[in-house]
Structure 1
């Protein structure tokens, strides 16, 4: 790996943004191409992941957190409820709202999907990168999470 010059200008930052976007986009495309045709879509995975990580949410909280249009979330939740991957229960504090919780079956679906993608990715990392490069990628991944959460 060549030594990178320090980011000092708007043009440097724009170039870095483009390279990161392209790299993340290509990796995302490749990981999706490794999935089978029955795997959940990205929005479904985002909802299940949010519920697993952060617990029960109202539909509005889910829509806001995942930046999904309420109408789209309604369709997603209907499908997840029908498949038994989430439950909808009335909010005891406000009967007009519902609380959405991931079920054990939803956890299983999410773990199977993420497990198969992570197995592919760990093999690709082992084949393509040196141990030092893998260590650097770990640091970069932590930074990408920080950027995504900013």
Structure 2
């Protein structure tokens, strides 16, 4: 059966969506019922050095206002704290809390479990081949922290 390039893109997106949806369901079953993919992207960006709303917005390719709303949710859930920056009292510095790190660690563990399910479903050799082929096509670091905003980026074309 011949497939189009669009079919391939949808299959890849479907695989991503299947894994993420299963992880969100499992997180909820484990007591983390309010985790969303953007929360993980944001916490990972903060842990990697995005220590204020402006930098988080840049790394996620979202507005500073959207970053501030995301930060507010993360703080409300106890996953991130903000406090004065020791270098500049006018700024607030973000930090992932131990609970935030726990959420990320549990999520990673769930993805490991989901990978094992796929290995059982299609076979270890087939999964390894799939991973090698995807790595050859897209490189070793497939997703950057700015992924949530990649659809919204301006490519210089006419606005709709």
> Could you tell me the TM-score, scaled by structure 2's length?
0.69
* 1:140 matches 2:133: yes
Matched residue count: 132
* 1:89 matches 2:77: no
Q: Supply the RMSD in Å over aligned alpha carbons.
A: 2.4
> Could you tell me the TM-score, scaled by structure 1's length?
0.73
Distance 1:121 1:139 in 2: 14
- Out of 108, 114, 138, the residue aligned to residue 108 of structure 2 is 114
Give the aligned partner of residue 77 of structure 1: 71
Alpha-carbon deviations, 1:72-130, whole Å to 9, x = none? 22121112112221111222222222211111110001111232233123211332145
Preserved contact between residue 91 and residue 97 of structure 1 (Cα < 8 Å)? yes
Distance 1:82 1:91 in 2: 20
Give the structure, 1 or 2, with the largest relative contact order (CA under 8 Å, sep 6 or more). Answer: 2
Q: How big is the shift at 1:141?
A: 4.3
Q: How big is the shift at 1:60?
A: 1.1
Unpaired segments of 5 or more residues in structure 1?
1-13
